[in-house]
Amino acid sequence: MSGITRIGRRTVLIGLATSVGAPAILRAQSLFTQNPFLLGIASGDPAPDGFVIWTRLAPKPLELHSGMPMVTATVTYEVAEDENFNTIVANGETQALPELGHSVHVEITGLKPARPYWYRFIAGRERSATGRARTMPHPGSGLDRVRFVAAGCQNYENGFYAAYRGIAGEELDFLWHYGDYIYEGQTKAGIRQHVGEEPYSLDDYRLRYAQYKMDADLQAAHAAHSWWVTWDDHETDNNWAGDRGQDGTPPAIFNLRRQAAAQAYYENMPLRATSFPHGPSIQIYRQAKYGDLLDAHFLDTRQYRMDQPCGDGFKPACAAALTRDRSILGAVEEKWLFEGLAKSPSRWKLIANQVMIMPLDRRTGNEPAPIWNMDSWAGYSANRTRLLNHIQKKKVKNVIVTTGDEHQNYAAELRGPKGDALGIEFVATSISTGGNGSDMRPGNDRIMANNPHLKFTNDQRGYILCEARREAWTTELKVLDRVDTPEGALSVRRKFTVPAGESKLS
């Protein structure tokens, strides 16, 4: 039985139609007999004058339609300059539509730059938790520092989200999520169990997001920071590539699944209307300029890539991996990235990227030929060469790449064809995917020996904390001792400094 008082569609529609001028709180108060904000709140895609605020009404998150009747519900929002909402600077009403899983995305404008705000939602007699969002500084304005966390890969079945509890306590300008917010697969023997089978339909994906979003630590990290979200493969299907799934499904049919996954992603993320889904597509790659210090390029390396070569997997390169036309970005995103890098006046250029860019020979034994991950840029090496050549030719300085996907920490120099360092890549581990892990995965000593540009590896869960300052970039790798309990303890495993003007790790 739903937790919602059963009232007919007609009653609600009449109520909405005749309530012009009446306080919003009166209109919806009969809708809920329990809290509809069980999936939390979020803010994202900040601008100098605002940000998106998000919630999704779900009084019974794991039931069909999350326990909502299939009618439109009115939601009130408030944005204030203080935590106690004494000075409200924006408020209004928005509609939570059944077509969008009763999610709401409100684009707040008219705020001051580079400061925190607090926001909350009201539906009926119920009020959400309070979230804190942060506007961006103006592009080009002088800044002393920009701090952000890179996080992602949060397989619910593999462990708890103590890392997000740590993130909630960080002082940040933003969080960038590199994808794998949900996992579509099943382990059947996890530390926590997915509800339902592998998702294919919109309601399947909605259920999966609902289960993840009920996690209190994840909600705390959303409530504490404004996020820039990007996706990787598991929001849709493992190792998908453009219109290709991993199981050889005909592209036209796989696109139907993509469409369901894309809509569910939009519904559950604090995205702007510019990222509204069109069929199977969402505009995910975008740029953010933090003063004169940091230009961030958030990539989408799934939607426009060619299929993985050589049958995918970890293996020696076949001829198909080495052709000149290989593209992981697609022509339009590649052009956008290259222009963004060449034209950036900022001190640091961030490429916020999903899968590993550095060439990493993954041999751990006596294999005769290098082993590459065909799902990473190694399967698209001509695209990597074009990127590094562009950085060199245009003399783009202070390039930092942050990456997800690997479920391990890596720090490496990105080197050009003559061995000169052109940038630094920090691969962030995972929030939970892979389970507890250990400091050194068996075989990583061989990988370190085979890859002299690689300076560090670690196989524990956590996140990376990056800080851009005028004179140097620092990245702290924060790791958890364990994720098989909610009480995992965080510590700084390693801190790297990159001096401005030098692509070197120390």
List residues near Fe ion by CB under 5 A. 153, 180, 433
* Measured distance CA(455)–CA(449) in Å, rounded: 10
Helices (H), 344-429: 381-393
CB of 138 to Fe ion, least distance (A): 35
Cβ proximity to Fe ion: between 295 and 425 the closer is 425
User: Would you state the structure tokens that stand for residue 390, as one six-digit string?
Assistant: 């562009």
CB of 325 to Fe ion, least distance (A): 27
User: Would you state the structure tokens that stand for residue 450, as one six-digit string?
Assistant: 């085979």
* Measured distance CA(161)–CA(191) in Å, rounded: 12
CB of 234 to Fe ion, least distance (A): 6
CB of 32 to Fe ion, least distance (A): 35
Cβ proximity to Fe ion: between 51 and 231 the closer is 231
Cβ proximity to Fe ion: between 302 and 349 the closer is 302
Cβ proximity to Fe ion: between 233 and 292 the closer is 233
In the block, residue with structure tokens 């390029």 = 297
Query: What Rg value do the Cα atoms of the chain yield, rounded?
Result: 23
CB atoms within 10 A of CB 506: 9
Cβ proximity to Fe ion: between 348 and 377 the closer is 377
* Measured distance CA(479)–CA(395) in Å, rounded: 35
CB of 338 to Fe ion, least distance (A): 27
- Whether the CB-CB separation of 249 and 236 falls below 8 Å is answered with no
Among 463, 483, 468, which Cα is nearest to 149's?
Answer: 463
* Measured distance CA(297)–CA(352) in Å, rounded: 6
CB of 212 to Fe ion, least distance (A): 13
Cβ proximity to Fe ion: between 153 and 387 the closer is 153
CB of 184 to Fe ion, least distance (A): 11
* Measured distance CA(381)–CA(152) in Å, rounded: 24
Conformational region of residue 66, where left means phi above 0, alpha means psi within -120 to 50, and beta covers everything else: left
Cβ proximity to Fe ion: between 80 and 153 the closer is 153
Cβ proximity to Fe ion: between 176 and 338 the closer is 176
CB of 59 to Fe ion, least distance (A): 31
According to DSSP, the β-strands at 41-47 and 454-460 are: unpaired
* Measured distance CA(37)–CA(67) in Å, rounded: 12
